[in-house]
Structure 1
Amino acid sequence: MPRTRGERGSAVVDFVLVSTILVPLFLGILQVGLFLYVRNTVTAAASEGAHYAAVLNRAPADGATRTEELINGVVADNLIDSVSGDATDIDGQPGVVVSVRAHMPPLGLWGPGISFTVQGHAVKETGE
């Protein structure tokens, strides 16, 4: 069916109206996926670093170093603010906690970034 003279150019308007809804929705989903990837990667590295430091004759600082090694090359260095390893008490047992402070910048040009902290815990091995 041929278009009438008054409908000429309506496809462009429809495209613009639909795009103003779909593009921000797509970018939001992309941002959430990127955040979850970075958070899960950093959490796994912190957990692995804590387990590494929990081995007999290793210090909590060794766990922080191991965590940094695991994060390097996977997550951009400018996203990680600090990595620390400390001795702690886990249900009455000596343990190690590795903490990582990081942030995610916004995908677009507006809005604040998201800061987050993750921790990995492990019970320290004893020589008994």
Structure 2
Amino acid sequence: MTSADKPARSRRPMIRDDRGSAVAEWVMVSAMLVLLTVTVLQIGFALHVRTTLLDAAGEGARHAGLFGAGLEAGEERAADLIAMSIGGGYAESVVASTTELDGAPVVAVTVRSPLPLIGLLGLPDALEVTGHAPQETLDAE
């Protein structure tokens, strides 16, 4: 066998086989898509909780603003609505107060609750919403 009969050696480095790369790419892309989907769902859930708390605070303020009703009635109404909607753990800090706006009495109900970050678990007292309503008074004029 002469040197002319020997196969020529390639000077290029050996190219690796592509087997299995499609599976690895699919796993990485699908993991990223699952993480993105879960993140969008969690943001939607957090906004749902915030909207529910804001609605309950507004309803509690309207209830407390009725003639003859007290601030405690507004706090209780807001806490009941929150407990029925998303759970009692979100209704632990409900405070009603009265302020003046342009000479007219206004009831404010403030709710502090956890901000859900992972499912229902989250940072305690990180979310604060306030609902306002005019307070009915008996004018003695």
- Please report the TM-score for the alignment, with normalisation by the length of structure 1: 0.84
Q: Quick check: 1:105 aligned with 2:113? A: no
| Distance in 2 (alpha carbons) for counterparts of 1:73 and 1:12 | 46
Q: Quick check: 1:34 aligned with 2:45? A: yes
The one-letter code sitting in structure 1 at the alignment partner of 2:137 is T
- Change beyond 3 A, Cα 1:42–1:119: same
Shifted more, 8-17 versus 82-91: the winner is 8-17
Aligned-residue CA RMSD in angstroms? 2.0
The one-letter code sitting in structure 2 at the alignment partner of 1:75 is I
Equivalent in the alignment of 2:79: 68
Asked if structure 2 preserves the Cα contact closer than 8 Å seen for 1:80 and 1:103, the reply is no
| Distance in 1 (alpha carbons) for counterparts of 2:90 and 2:117 | 12
| Distance in 2 (alpha carbons) for counterparts of 1:120 and 1:11 | 54
Which consecutive segments of 4 or more residues in structure 1 shift more than 6 A? none
Asked if structure 2 preserves the Cα contact closer than 8 Å seen for 1:79 and 1:104, the reply is no
SS of aligned partner of 1:49: helix
Shift of 1:99: 0.4
- Please report the TM-score for the alignment, with normalisation by the length of structure 2: 0.77
| Distance in 2 (alpha carbons) for counterparts of 1:87 and 1:102 | 21
Shift of 1:12: 1.4
- Structure 1 residues 41-120: aligned runs within 5 Å: 41-107=52-118, 113=123, 115-120=126-131
Shift of 1:10: 2.7
SS of aligned partner of 1:52: helix
What do the CA deviations read for 1:16-61 (whole angstroms, capped 9, x no partner)?
A: 2202321221121111100000000010000011001101011111
Shifted more, 38-47 versus 70-79: the winner is 70-79
Answer with 1 or 2: which has the greater Rg: 2
Q: Counting helix residues as a fraction of each chain, which structure ranks higher?
A: 1
Identity of aligned residues (%): 38
